Structure 1
Amino acid sequence: MPTGVAIRDVRQQLFDAAERVLLRGGPSALTSRAVTTEAGCAKGVLHRHFVDFDEFLVELIRDRTARVTTQAEVLRSSAGTGTVAGNLTVVLTDLFTSVAASIISLVIFRDDLRVRLRQTYPTGVPLLAEAAAMISAYLLAERDLGRIAADADVDTVALTLIGSGHLLFAGGNPPDADAVLKVMSSAIAGVTAHR
């Protein structure tokens, strides 16, 4: 990009470029040069907006984690519709076929990034912790509607679903919807209210 040309919403442009690099090449491919090249801008643009590359990555993770809030509202509003396992299948497929799985790898891959993230996220893995909270809230809504057993430990079930979903999608070749539905159905079978 020529010098002196204004870039609209530069942070979002850089975040989107980083996501594409991360999805295409994994955490080892994610460098400031790769991001700015993908974004079509000079390397200095990134450093004008962020102290260093790790700060950029922290902000990228915060931005992508905030998107879980939007997904949480959609999932919660689906309570009482369709099937519980079907709703969980959709949200976990969306979560793990997005950049989420790559961000998890990124957090594991970069020690300095993990240290910085601990200032904001003292426990758990960013994105996964928010996803578990999203699923817990959804399961509570379903419990209030009588579709989940009144004595169900929804927090433990949510963690089980996140772990199962992560394992299903971690191999690189995403499973088909029927495979995800089968796992979700099995995982909630013990807490599904039987009428």
Structure 2
Amino acid sequence: MPTGVHIREVREQLFDAAERVLLRDGPNALTSRAVTTEAGCAKGVLHRHFADFDAFLAELVQDRIGRIEIQAAALRESAGTGTVVDNLTGALTALFSSVAVGIVALVTFRDELRARLRQAGLAGLPIAAEAASMIASYLTAERDLGRIAADADIDTLAPTLIGAGHLLFADREGGPPNADAVRKMVATVIASVVRKPLL
């Protein structure tokens, strides 16, 4: 790798490579060698920028959480436009078509990664928690606009949508669900609280 490359560019290159490995081959295939091979750089490059592989993975998770925060802002801005079902379908598809499913599995099975994330103040499954927060924020905005019932239990609906979405997208062998399957799940979960027609 050229010596003049900025540290942020190197980190992004390694994060993007890790994401491609996760999406293509799953969490079991994610090793420092797989990441550096995918990034097209020497293995030592990763260890020059991160204390060890779990430190790299912890920063990857935090970086991807930052991306969810950007997506959350865009989703909140969509409140009052289109339909609630379509907005949620698009958000969940974007979320789970990304590396989110792989990161949830990665965090679940790597004890040291969970420990590093806890040290950073991110307990449990931080990607899922951030995603549920994104959905809750959007549903709150729609409730404020009267498109979701005033008594809707948003604290239950948001994680329900995340959990159901994760289950739809988690089957790596069958490929991702089609848009109709995601839309049907969303419509079913929120049917009792939507105050606009679902279609």
State the TM-score, normalizing by the size of structure 2. Answer: 0.92
2:126 match: secondary structure: coil
Q: CA deviation at 1:181?
A: 0.7
Bigger drift between 55-64 and 5-14 goes to 5-14
Structure 2 runs not aligned, ≥5 long: none
Bigger drift between 182-191 and 4-13 goes to 4-13
Q: CA deviation at 1:124?
A: 2.9
Report how many residues are paired.
Answer: 193
Q: CA deviation at 1:121?
A: 4.1
Residue 4 (structure 2) aligns with: 6
Instruction: Write the distance in 1 (CA, Å) between the matches of 2:94 and 2:129.
Output: 16
Across the aligned residues of Structure 1 and Structure 2, the Cα RMSD in angstroms comes to 1.5
Residue 192 (structure 2) aligns with: 190
Q: Deviations over 1:142-169 (max 9, x none)?
A: 0011000011111111011111101111
1:59 match: secondary structure: helix
Instruction: Write the distance in 1 (CA, Å) between the matches of 2:122 and 2:14.
Output: 26
Instruction: Write the distance in 1 (CA, Å) between the matches of 2:113 and 2:168.
Output: 26
2:117 match: secondary structure: helix
Residue 62 (structure 1) aligns with: 62
2:149 match: secondary structure: coil
Percent identity, please.
66
Change (3 A) 1:18 1:72: same
Bigger drift between 23-32 and 73-82 goes to 23-32
Confirm or deny: 8 A CA contact 2:114 2:123 kept in the other structure.
no
Q: CA deviation at 1:120?
A: 2.5
Residue 16 (structure 2) aligns with: 16
Confirm or deny: 8 A CA contact 2:97 2:176 kept in the other structure.
yes
Instruction: Write the distance in 1 (CA, Å) between the matches of 2:50 and 2:124.
Output: 25
Instruction: Write the distance in 1 (CA, Å) between the matches of 2:19 and 2:99.
Output: 7
Change (3 A) 1:124 1:191: farther
Give the alignment of 1:39-188 within 5 angstroms: 39-172=39-172, 173-188=175-190
Instruction: Write the distance in 2 (CA, Å) between the matches of 1:102 and 1:147.
Output: 33
Q: CA deviation at 1:25?
A: 1.4
State the TM-score, normalizing by the size of structure 1. Answer: 0.94
Structure 1 runs not aligned, ≥5 long: none
Q: CA deviation at 1:43?
A: 1.2
Q: CA deviation at 1:5?
A: 4.1
Instruction: Write the distance in 2 (CA, Å) between the matches of 1:45 and 1:123.
Output: 29
Q: CA deviation at 1:182?
A: 0.8
Change (3 A) 1:194 1:6: closer
Q: CA deviation at 1:70?
A: 0.7
